[in-house]
Amino acid sequence: MASNRRIQVSDLDFDQIRANLKAFMEGQDTFSDYNFDGSALSVLLDVLAYNTHYNALYTNLAVNEMFLDSASKRSSAVSIANNFGYTPKSSTAAKAALAITVFNPSATAQTLTIPKWSPFSTMIDNQAYTFYTIQDYTANLSNGSYSFPYVEIYEGSPRSLTFICTELNQKFTIPYKDIDLATLSVTVQPTGENPDYSRYTVANQVLSLNAESEVYFIKELEDETYQISFGSNNLGKPLATGNVVMIQGLLTNKAQGNGASVFTYTGTGLGGTVVPSIVSAAFGGAEKESIDEIKYNVTQSFFDQNRCVTPVDFMSVIKRYYEDVDSVIVWGGEDNDPPVYGKVFISVKPANKAYLTPAEENFIKETILTPRSVVSVTPEFVRPSYIELEVDTTVYYNKTVTTRSADNLKSSIAQAIQDYRSTNLKKFDGVFRMSKFSAAIDAVDPSIQSNITRIKAYVEVVPKYNSYAEYRLNLVNPIYSEEVAEEAFLSTGFYIDNTDNVYYLDDDGVGNIRLFRKIEGTGEKIIQNPKIGSIDYSTGTVKISNLRITSLFDANFYFIIKTASFDVVSIRNQIVDIPTKRVTVSLIEDSIAAGTMIGGTNYTFTSSRS
């Protein structure tokens, strides 16, 4: 009697499937005398096992592509994103801002217009690129010339498409993968003979739409091209048969145009001499969203519903629509110091530089945030404030248990410091934790016995030249104090009126900021003003009043602070960092660990305080 009447279906491996099929057939009375390894049934088992394995694999892959978390194809993620009303970000053109003056114009009309699609050429790494305006700019004649103070230009090649609407065709394909959707211009004419047209805008919010809203909808297709459709009475104005749809946009080279800063006007029709000067170099060119970015942004878009109300909404929208972001933080006006109600404060650290340009801030505010913000909330940008830590670490090591040279060990320690910096700092809300930092140094090599690490905080201050100004610093971190003057607070040098002496600021240990100079040769301090400001050691607050700086002794003006704690935190727009230039590594041979006869007799001690 057969003993195996059921087939096992839990295995997906080919060999195991074949073994399960064989065991099942061997258990049937009909095949009790068959040799499955030597007969034609062996081939049949292979075919059945292959077919089962193939279908199981296909089904597994197909099911994976149905869910956002497990999708491996970009087209699958895009299709799921469409169900959430989310359009992945397209390739983005590099954008620059120019100030343009037209001298000696051939005509003397009261106004002059730089038309849409006016070209400006540039060279990057010996490669020519062309940037274009995507709107008209008009200036008035003044003193024989026309001045355009702010003209935005975008890198790419213009593309134009024309479609005729029919009863069966009201969806139109843009057959370009790398077109920048932000440069699209969509217009609709009643007929080909009627020159009047209406300009349609992309629909970002459906709640405000009605049957007369002149909007279009756009989605990405499976082959990474795009499809435009129009309204259907309730959500947007529908097209009529015979309408002519004209679509214009830029096919971009993405990041290749970034950094361009010298431009030449290569168009015609303006007359005179066209002189462009740079306002902000080209930035923002980027690839379209990757599959990982789509997975992240779809869920965030669902949470914030593509509108900016809470600080988290603002952060999510900025990260989604602006490529060049390394870190961003947003806080409400009620959490500001002092509180400012009705505003939301935004600080952005770009990916490859310290600060956004005014043009970049304006682009984020006007193009990304304002269309999605409520009227009662005004976004305001705040520059990041960097707390640069000066790190002086003395490392004790046992040279008898390592073959590495002192220079090689120093290099590895310096790299460990930079690794810690990249992982924990250089971002908003970053915290420098001394214990973990010290442990990272100790872990570099088994020969390292311990380290004594000292820190100081450097905060750059922008001087207000030739005016009696007030300077405030809210470090948040408590400042070290033993109620004696030991330069817990110190500034770099600067010049004041009517003197060639270099002046500095320091604290007296009991809450006052002093203005002083040094006697050349001895370094003795001559106090010029014993109370030019105040310092609150417990809150890390410094206030300086009526300081008139005419120039600096060094290239930059810094406040240098000894913190009370060896841990340094950041709040709001502060970023803690350890620049490479502020790292000092010293090595000392540990005589105790080396087992020398003198042991601790000649042990070199290092103070934990600067």
| Domain harbouring 359, CATH code | 3.30.300.200
The confidence score (pLDDT) of residue 271 equals 84
Residues 486 and 364 in one domain: no
Kindly state whether residue 163 falls inside one of the protein's structural domains: yes
Residues 467 and 511 in one domain: yes
- pTM of the complete model: 0.66
Residues 145 and 265 in one domain: yes
Q: Which residue has the tokens 């700086």?
A: 549
Torsion of CA 154, 164, 212, 89, to 10 degrees: -30
| Max CA distance (Å), the chain | 115
Q: d(Cα 577, Cα 596) in Å, to the nearest integer?
A: 40
Q: Provide the residue range defining the domain that includes 355.
A: 307-383
Residues 202 and 213 in one domain: yes
Q: Residue 511 — left, alpha, or beta (φ > 0 → left; ψ -120 to 50 → alpha)?
A: left
Residues 499 and 466 in one domain: yes
| CB atoms closer than 10 angstroms to residue 334 | 11
The confidence score (pLDDT) of residue 193 equals 81
Residues 274 and 341 in one domain: no
Q: d(Cα 440, Cα 455) in Å, to the nearest integer?
A: 16
Kindly state whether residue 165 falls inside one of the protein's structural domains: yes
Q: d(Cα 573, Cα 328) in Å, to the nearest integer?
A: 9
Residues 259 and 131 in one domain: yes
What sign does the dihedral 212-215-220-225 (CA atoms) show? positive
Residues 208 and 325 in one domain: no
Going from the C-alpha of 344 to that of each of 324, 382, 385, the distances in angstroms are 21, 10, 17
Residues 213 and 355 in one domain: no
The confidence score (pLDDT) of residue 188 equals 94
Kindly state whether residue 608 falls inside one of the protein's structural domains: no
Kindly state whether residue 601 falls inside one of the protein's structural domains: no
The confidence score (pLDDT) of residue 594 equals 61
DSSP 308: B
The confidence score (pLDDT) of residue 371 equals 82
Q: d(Cα 395, Cα 415) in Å, to the nearest integer?
A: 14
Tokens of 237: 């104005």
Residues 466 and 552 in one domain: yes
DSSP 192: S
- Do 404 and 447 form a contact (C-beta atoms < 8 A)? yes
Kindly state whether residue 176 falls inside one of the protein's structural domains: yes
Average pLDDT per block of 10 residues along the chain, 610 residues long: 57 80 77 72 83 84 88 89 86 92 86 94 95 94 92 95 86 94 93 86 79 90 92 86 94 93 92 91 88 84 78 87 85 89 92 83 88 85 94 92 91 94 91 95 94 95 93 94 91 91 94 94 91 95 94 94 94 93 92 64 70
Residue type, 135: Q
The confidence score (pLDDT) of residue 16 equals 83
Residues 272 and 349 in one domain: no
Count of structural domains within the chain: 5
Kindly state whether residue 7 falls inside one of the protein's structural domains: no
Kindly state whether residue 228 falls inside one of the protein's structural domains: yes
Which residue, among 75, 73, 82, 321, has the nearest Cα to 218 in the 3D structure?
82
| CB atoms closer than 10 angstroms to residue 183 | 23
Beta bridge partners of 330: 346
Report the alpha-carbon angle 257-259-264, nearest 5.
75
Residues 267 and 322 in one domain: no
The confidence score (pLDDT) of residue 610 equals 66
Kindly state whether residue 483 falls inside one of the protein's structural domains: yes
The confidence score (pLDDT) of residue 1 equals 43
